[in-house]
Amino acid sequence: MTVIQLSASLPSFAEHDPGPWTHLFDHARLLDQAGFDRMVLSDHVVFGERLDEYGRPEIGGQRGGQQPTGPDGHWLEPLTTLAVLAGMTSRIRLGTSILLAALRRPVVLAKCASTLDVLSGGRLDLGVGVGWQREEYEAAGVPFSERGRRLDHTLEVCQALWTQQRASYDSAELAFSNIHMMPKPVQPGNVVPFWISGTNNARVVTRLARFGAGWIPWGDAAAELSSSVPRMRDALAREGADPDALQVVGHLRVRRHADRAVDVSATLDGLAPLLAAGVTDVRVHLPLPEQPTARLQAAADFVAAFREATGRPAATVG
């Protein structure tokens, strides 16, 4: 039976310098204590100045979307940040949504991810995708036109180093043999799960079939889950993958009372269409009270209501 999980995005970016980022630390600890299943961070390494291209789906953006900061917004590198947060938390899973994996050297990414998985006790998930910003790839010395193949290459190298004791690899981009990398990830199969972001296009289907534990729908696919998830499952079956094993991310819209407090009942009414569509990882941006004790109680109450609605045992708070 599939366990429906509850995830939250962490505020790891800011329009202006927020100072020491203590709000991020507090938020991470709160999610852990309240019983959330997963927290995820976004990724940008650098910015160019054509941020309106975020709204162009033909290059990987999102129709009608708007980049949340200007080019001088403060964005924390997600793996570094998750390493800090791993030491502040004990049970919540740590993820990216999404990591621009092709901007990293594959062997270094494999080592960083494996190290973080070991030190966190096997809590790491890597949501990966190609992104939308040409300037970011150019600054990293990676051809924007090759970003899909470079992502596949990165995932291939990571899995080779994680699963082979004496690793070898040969492609147009890189070749090595008899390479040893320890420690391996501690999760089943000695791998860090990849969650593949994208639409229903053929490249994403193939990538998901080869590497993916889960799918992070993007753009129109995210907006139309009732049709996009069955299409993806059918496409995976044609690729020889098990469509029933697919985990899927969906976003739950928060509803509020007239006083702006979260209306938990009305918010959770939105679960039914997500679950009917096949969503297994429900992500929510939950506004919380300012006072610390009230914040924890409100988060824990939401988790308890979510678990009751999805038939899971109540979480232990603290």
Number of domains in the chain: 1
pLDDT at 314 over 80: no
253-279 average pLDDT score: 96
In-domain check, residue 117: yes
In-domain check, residue 199: yes
In-domain check, residue 317: no
- Which domain range does residue 150 map to? 5-310
pLDDT at 112 over 70: yes
In-domain check, residue 102: yes
Please state whether the predicted TM-score (pTM) of the whole model is above 0.75: yes
Q: What is the pLDDT of residue 64?
A: 86
**pLDDT tens for each residue of 279-311:** 999 999 999 998 989 999 999 999 999 999 999
Mean pLDDT, all residues of the chain: 95
Closest by Cα among 245, 258, 249, 254 to 306: 254
pLDDT at 222 over 80: yes
Query: The domain spanning residue 305 has which CATH number?
Result: 3.20.20.30
SS3 state at 287: coil
In-domain check, residue 270: yes
**pLDDT tens for each residue of 66-90:** 899 999 999 999 999 999 999 999 9
Q: What is the pLDDT of residue 315?
A: 66
pLDDT at 317 over 90: no
Q: What is the pLDDT of residue 116?
A: 98
In-domain check, residue 60: yes
Q: What is the pLDDT of residue 313?
A: 78
Report the alpha-carbon angle 139-144-149, nearest 5. Answer: 125
In-domain check, residue 316: no
Q: What is the pLDDT of residue 318?
A: 60
CA neighbours within 13 Å on the CB side: how many for 55? 8
In-domain check, residue 318: no
pLDDT at 161 over 70: yes
Q: What is the pLDDT of residue 316?
A: 65
**Residues pairing with 95 in the sheet:** 40, 125
User: How far apart, in whole angstroms, are the C-alpha atoms of residue 56 and residue 49?
Assistant: 15
Q: How far is CA 223 from CA 63, 64, 191, 208, 226, in A?
A: 10, 12, 30, 19, 9
162-179 average pLDDT score: 97
Looking at the chain, the whole-number percentage of residues with pLDDT higher than 70 is: 98
Q: Are strands 5-9 and 167-170 parallel, antiparallel or unpaired?
A: unpaired
Local confidence band at 2 (pLDDT 50, 70, 90 cut-offs): confident
